[in-house]
Structure 1
């Protein structure tokens, strides 16, 4: 199952929820892939990786035709792997904008490896751009974390 965590507003707990749920499921013995689809790369850092040392990221999957399995990294948590991100991913919005079928790129990439995981959790950026659209199209389920305050609820669709 592919689950995306999204909200148009930042600071609502998307990354915290995604990383912690991924780790919890992995500790329960589930095979989990965490996809960091936010150019800030906080999920990547959250599992102990250094963004500056990454050879390939989800950017390369979306724009350079790299296979997910070539880019996926193991973490210190058994059963938890990550498709990491860094600031390069911000360029994917522009690069994908003129690509026909741009909203299906992630879904196609995930179809190659979906069977290898019990859960694929996607941490989305705080906007409704091409990256978030790719996550939504690839997902079986969306989770929209909100804080119990007025302004975060303004970000709901």
Structure 2
């Protein structure tokens, strides 16, 4: 497990020493992959900095000249709002929910820079549980993984930001991901509980392909 420590004031400017640690780890992982790796940024607790961490990763990976797709699977669209402070985020031709419904996410992608793309969050995602209600658990769980498969050859990294609760949104993201990043507040007892809950959820979704959990301890 890799741990990084940040104060709340340090969110905007990542120290050079810490940047190097993360970049070296990314290089090591990418050297062993021939297609995009998918990283889920999740913890079953709100307000621990998941979306800020995703935004930080967008900044770091740009320094590596990597092609990155950010996916905002949170109904509150916090990641989209954060990125909109720096980039001009336009509405896609087909919003995220419609892309999932139609079985094609290509038209839900907006381009921010030469290396950074985004599937913006939308409140319409609240309709997803209704869409998949009659599906089998396996088909429901693998929806996002299936739709991301044809996009993996276009990117080095795909980073997913999702809601902090067990749900069809998190379920889909876990099954689709290769790695999970878990932001934690240092010294908070809920950390151990959160790990246990996430491990149980991974087991229930049969996501045995997840090889690594990267824990980030945050000083807030």
Same fold judged by TM-score > 0.5?
Answer: yes
Q: 1:42 aligns with which of 70, 78, 83?
A: 78
* The structure with more radius of gyration: 2
Between the aligned partners of 2:41 and 2:190, the Cα distance in structure 1 is 15
Q: Does 2:67 align with 1:31?
A: yes
Distance (whole Å) between structure 2 residues aligned to residue 63 and residue 116 of structure 1: 22
Deviation of 1:59 after TM superposition, in Å, equals: 1.2
1:103 alignment partner, one of 138, 141, 149: 141
TM-score of the pair, normalised by structure 2: 0.65
Q: Select 1:72's aligned residue among 109, 117, 125.
A: 109
In structure 1, runs of 5+ residues without a counterpart are none
CA gap of 1:118–1:98, structure 2 versus 1, over 3 A, is: same
Decide which of 139, 145, 148 is 2:183's aligned counterpart.
145
CA distance, structure 1, for counterparts of residue 63 and residue 101 of structure 2: 32
TM-score of the superposed pair, with normalisation by structure 1: 0.88
2:194 alignment counterpart:
155
Structure 2: how far apart are the matches of 1:149 and 1:98?
42
1:108-131 residue CA offsets vs partner (Å, 9 max, x unmatched)? 000011111000000011111011
**Distance (whole Å) between structure 2 residues aligned to residue 58 and residue 73 of structure 1:** 11
User: Aligned runs of 1:51-90 on 2, under 5 Å?
Assistant: 53=91, 55-65=93-103, 67-75=104-112, 77-90=113-126
Check the 8 A contact 1:4/1:135 in 2, yes or no: yes
Pairwise CA distance, 1:28: 2.2
Report if aligned partners of 2:43, 2:182 keep a CA contact under 8 Å in 1. Answer: yes
SS at match of 1:122: strand
Mapped to 1, the partners of 2:66 and 2:120 lie a distance apart of: 19
How well do the aligned residues superpose, as a CA RMSD in angstroms? Answer: 1.9
Q: By how many angstroms is 1:18 displaced?
A: 0.9
| Equivalent-residue separation in structure 2 for 1:146 and 1:63 (angstroms) | 33
Aligned positions, number = 154
- Structure 2 CA distance for partners of 1:149 and 1:57, relative to 1, 3 Å: farther
Deviation of 1:151 (Å) = 5.7
Q: Is the 8 A contact 2:144 2:172 kept in 1?
A: yes
Which residue, out of 149, 152, 164, partners 1:114? 152
